[in-house]
Chains A and B, each alone.
Chain A
Amino acid sequence: MSEFTLTTVEEFEAATNRLLETGAKVGADSWQMRVKNQTPHCKFGENGVCCRICSMGPCRITPKAPRGICGCDAHGIVGRNFLRFVAGGAATHSDHGREICNTLGHTEAGGTYQVKDPAKLIRIAKEWGVETEGKDIYDLAHEMSEIALSEYGKNHGISRWLSRAPEHTREIWHREGIEPRAIDREVSCAMHMTHMGNSCKPEALIRQSLRNGLSDGWGGSMCGTEFSDVLFGTPKEIQTEANLGVMVEENVNIVVHGHDPSLSEIICDLADSKEMQDYAKTFGAKGITVSGVCCTSNEVAMRRGIPMAGNFLQQENVVLTGACEAIVVDVQCIFPALGPLSKCFHTKFITTSPICQMPDSEFIEFDTGSAAEKAKKIVMLACENFQNRKKELVYIPQMKHKAWVGYSVEEIVHKLDGVTNSQVDTTGSTRPLLECVTSGVLRGAVAMVGCNNPKVRPDTAHIEMMKKLIAKDIIIIASGCSAQAAAKAGLMDKAAKDLCGAGLKRVCELADIPPVLHMGSCVDISRMMILAAELSKDSGLAISQLPVVGCAPEWMSEKAVSIGNYVVATGLDTFLGVVPYCAGSDQVAGLLTDGIRDWVEAAYTVETDIDKLCELMIERIEQKRAALGI
């Protein structure tokens, strides 16, 4: 039997160091250097006690100066800053979702954008009480687009998506007054509440944080995920590869980066075309390779098996290979550093969204109407740029791993159907997974999500925790940059079953899955909410009773905090490996790590020692099992 081995973080780092040598040669800057320049970080900022909300300040809280000029104390300042952080994240995800809803309105038969999963569109329409009988699928798509867009600004009522949650969860949200209303309204409300001279009561601020988070996870993000599936297809199991080795030296390399699949989907379509492949050949390349970074990569990997070049902190490495003809970005998590860096190489840094405009980039504005034309322009530009490569600078670390991805909730259920017995079971449910959990074959599940953050040795927390958890028979669902860390290491290879405990190994073998299931981009954490809801409904247990927790060990963005809030508010304990800017208020920190448990049956645990964080998760899972007597 051949021994299965993972790629280690040390090997990742060796490759990065080799690339940084190239960077040094051309005088490039790097995040590693900038971290040094920025350390130590501002303590007031870290503790969340700096208030810049009005121009009387900035005020910062010290033992000698316990209140700002307006009289607000540390708890109010920390609470307001926290809520604004959440609002930033919720706005970002939700605006991404809005773009997708908008694209849905521009679909047409045979057009650039089409409805690839009509069954899913009809299913959602029925959920929303929209008549589907005898309706042309594109008429329905346009109607649904309008309704979905109105979810962002409707005057009355609560998010339509909440109806998907189990009754017990909906009761909690109602009871606690945190049912999200119109998606944009919760962001506005957060901004309003935190304006000078408004709320400074931690309970009120944290309650709105949860509500705003929910407007993301059970609102804007869910729009993004669900209608992306309708547009581009619901992910199914597919094999791909991950890490820089997916870039092909002889080919034109186009790297897509960002979050919104509307552009990258069309680029992938075009790059595959004979016309473009031939065009690439006229410049001496053998063909075109599209690979991805960050969540745009996750989107196209999940649906098309496009390889993943890397995650968040690897975005500069892609350019440092010297073999990247174009890095094409849409929105979110794009380092402004890519502009100056690309100037050190032949790489074209192409920005495409009015939301994300940067110096030193070529701006080719992308919109649904001109998508195909713009995409073609971009691909041609990349091909033409092949001849400008500086050969002496080209070095692609030959490091990659096989990965099985594409585990949407629908696909997970489909995989579970494969282990049912038609003589005793029904299909189409999460019951087989629940049976594995109640019998003890699986101890539980952890949703591993979130970013990279230089405060944690990149990818280490993701990979080391996953290794430990799968050895303990805990199955992992992953998304975003966490999923990419797993893929790069090899944890999404089905052979990784050999690293699991006997229970998870058996489950992987019988269901034919890897132990770490890629559920998509960060927006797709909404899939995890749907999965939790289904598990709850199928088991008759509250979500908070399930031996399932969430974990973001290397998180960094506002989106991550928004996500954390909706995950906790849905009833799942969430474990963080990076401290949010809340340490300056024991009241706010106390609420987040304990107090909100009385409201939503779950809370945060923060621990920067990754081993301890992992132990705490396992402990929590076992506590939940013990409480259920399983």
Chain B
Amino acid sequence: MTLFDRVFSGNDAVYGLTEGAINDAISKYGEDKAVSFPDTAYSLPCYYSVTGTKVTTLKELKDALGVVKSLMTRDHQLNDAFMSGVATALCAEFIEVLKYIDGQVPYELPIYGHLADAVIRELGVPLVTGDIPGVAVILGSAPSVEDAVALVKSYQAQGILVTLVGGVIDQVMEAGMNTGANVRVIPLGKDVTAVIHVVSVALRAALIFGNVKPGDAATLMDYTMKRVPAFVNAFKPLDDVIVACGAGAIALGFPVITNETENIFRVPKSLIVQEDVSKFNATSLEARDIKIKITNVDIPVAFASAFEGEIIRRKDMQVEFDGSRVDCAELVHTVDASEIEDHKITLIGPDLDEMADGSKNSIAYVVKVAGKKMQPDFEPVIERKFHNYINCIEGVYHTGQRDMQRIRVSHAAFNAGFRAKHIGEVLYTQVKNEFDAVVDKCEVVIYTDPAECTRIRHEVAIPIFNKRDDRLANLTDESVEVYYSCILCQAFSPSHVCVVTPERLGLCGAVSWLDAKATNELDPTGPCQVITKERPIDENLGSYEDVDEAVKKFSQGALEHVTLYSIMQDPMTSCGCFECICGIEPFSNGVVIANREYAGMTPLGMTFPEMASMTGGGVQTPGFMGHGKHFIASKKFMKAEGGVERIVWMPKELKETVAERLNKTAKDLYGIDNFTDMIGDETIATDPEELVGFLTEKGHPALGLDPMM
């Protein structure tokens, strides 16, 4: 049988199953029964992406199957095989959505099934920064449990996001492997159809970040091929159904690597037979042109971004350092080159093996740096990375910052020989790796002696932090000479440009003005470029000829005008990985803000994913704007429309997070005390009329403002 005949046969089989399943569901629930996946604004995501048509009921699902059938042409060109592969994937999506019918919960952790839009938006930044260099889809059962674990771990160690379908899930479970999104190993489901849940992620990424128009299948496939670094590892035996799914994957640009040798054809860079499973990793990376940044840190445990989300529970903990209870600090300090010795790591105080098992201790580490191009403004930029560096150590967990950090070291890491100096080693290596353009020499001093920690915290660190805070407080849009562009996301969202100002950080929340400045210094031709602000058009709107020119240039002409302070007139665009989105609420003349973590309904009648789907991909949608959490309390937040007093609703949790800073801003701007008490949340109202009632009762200032539209 030819390769294409195998694809056709697999496609026919899945189509038959799907048709049967839909008919059964209709006879059980009736045609009008609703079908949808949870937590997505794009349901059914794959079918919607490919055809531009949303499916909401069984009847529509049945009609959709007719469309799928029209893709199943049976000539003998690759297009026929590709479209049959896509048809197979769509059938899989239909079968999977039926599992969710009538409020059923088909998957329970550790198995995920469908993945929410929020997951995709969170993946945006790490994917563009290369922090997640690729996405592996592992299908079937490895030759042995050991092979399965070794393969998954090999990807994990490279930071690659691993999704699992089929027998491999049982294999990693049997081995007791820790799985979950936080360690970048996501079991999707045991049926082969569950593979659609990762395809769904790739296609939604194209809609969210790429502004691909649903139904524009050619652009969609071009986007996934060029911008989504996914690949498939399929273990033998490969039946026709898997071959058909593989055709769908290859159509999207994802190579398939298999150990099957029977009745299989080889296609360069697309369908690769690798009999040695231990070489799947290397073969796959080469096939998808994924380059791994190699970080060799001389420590006794692994160091990889996949461990960033790892959590150390109390029972697994050897020692803990906790800045909220005892004196701790972490600090980058610029010194003269003559004062330090490169790569010198000093420990002052007891080492981990001198601390009691389960004990709470003090720690302070001072990273002294020197370099001709080093500026004190870069100190906090480097320091903010410590969280990420220390978290990437296998068996070590870090939260917080400055003098409030908390670190746990697991029994496993301790037993593997992990000691205090290794923290220094990690900090040294990473600072030198990532900041080599400004840091010429670097020395680390680690204090565990409690008295020394107290001294460092109060006499060294806090005065520096205060000085920095003063500098930051004075750092306003008006006080600086230049802004910065950030196009880090263009790998995914080719026409989006962020304009980063002191009072408006990047919408992803990850790039502040200082970060952008440092990035520009580190890589002058890189993603952050200087934007002058010499030719203002309207300072209230925050429009500048310089900004427009920069935006036009960096968006390759896709955008002509952007204002910094308005959500109504030429609002700044989003890539799709924004932390929050605000949208106009017409009844109250205000805006509603929802954050990515919030899963419920808003008074706009839309959830976060639905609001988010209104923008992103570098498109301007007046009335909607993506932004970072930090921006909410900025004096520049929709300043052109009146500022923060327009905020009428936020999820409770978000409100609490920003309350202190937001209240201060409201006090400064309008003289209002405890402004956040006037803002609604989901415990007060998710209905616009009820919300207006609440706002009226509280005397919310937005009600008295001019309508925005």
Contacts and interface: CB of A to CB of B under 8 A. Distances in A.
Contacts of B479: none
B78 A473 contact: yes
A613 to B, nearest CB: 20
A284 interface: no
A502 B286 contact: no
Contacts of B76: 440, 443, 622
A501 B79 contact: yes
Contacts of A622: 76
A155 interface: no
A438 interface: yes
B216 to A, nearest CB: 9
A599 to B, nearest CB: 31
Contact of A501 (B77, B225, B269, B279): B77
Interface in B148-175: none
Given A422-B286, A423-B283, A501-B77, A440 B268 contact: no
A473 B77 CA distance: 7
B274 A510 contact: no
Nearest to A422: B286
A420 to B, nearest CB: 7
Contacts of A419: 268-269
Contact of B78 (A435, A441, A509): A441
B104 interface: no
Contact of B271 (A416, A439, A501, A503): A439
A33 interface: no
Contact of B77 (A425, A432, A472, A509): A472
Contacts of A56: none
Interface string B78-111: 1101100000000000000000000000000000
A419 B3 CA distance: 20
B667 interface: no
B219 A435 contact: no
B592 to A, nearest CB: 36
A424 B283 contact: yes
A438 B287 CA distance: 20
B273 interface: yes
Given A435-B267, A439-B271, A503 B286 contact: no
A270 interface: no
Given A421-B287, A440-B3, A440-B4, A1 B219 contact: yes
A472 B274 CA distance: 30
A436 B268 contact: yes
Nearest to A433: B268
A506 B270 contact: yes
Interface residues of A, number: 28
A178 to B, nearest CB: 36
Interface string B388-430: 0000000000000000000000000000000000000000000
A435 B268 contact: yes
B272 interface: yes
A31 to B, nearest CB: 40
A424 B77 contact: no
Interface in B268-292: 268-274, 279, 282-283, 286-287
A627 to B, nearest CB: 13
Contact of A510 (B266, B269, B282, B283): B269
A278 B4 CA distance: 61
Nearest to A630: B2
A424 B268 contact: no
B587 interface: no
A318 B266 CA distance: 48
B265 interface: yes
A213 to B, nearest CB: 34
Contacts of A441: 78, 267, 270
Contacts of B273: 424
A67 B416 CA distance: 101
Interface string A495-507: 0000001110010
Given A503-B79, A506-B78, 19 more contacts: A416-B268, A420-B268, A421-B272, A421-B287, A423-B283, A425-B268, A432-B268, A438-B266, A440-B3, A440-B4, A440-B78, A440-B265, A473-B77, A501-B77, A502-B79, A502-B82, A503-B78, A510-B270, A630-B2
25 contacts: A421-B272, A421-B283, A421-B287, A424-B273, A424-B279, A432-B268, A435-B267, A435-B268, A436-B268, A438-B266, A439-B3, A440-B2, A440-B3, A440-B77, A441-B267, A443-B77, A473-B78, A501-B77, A502-B78, A502-B79, A503-B78, A503-B79, A506-B270, A510-B268, A510-B269
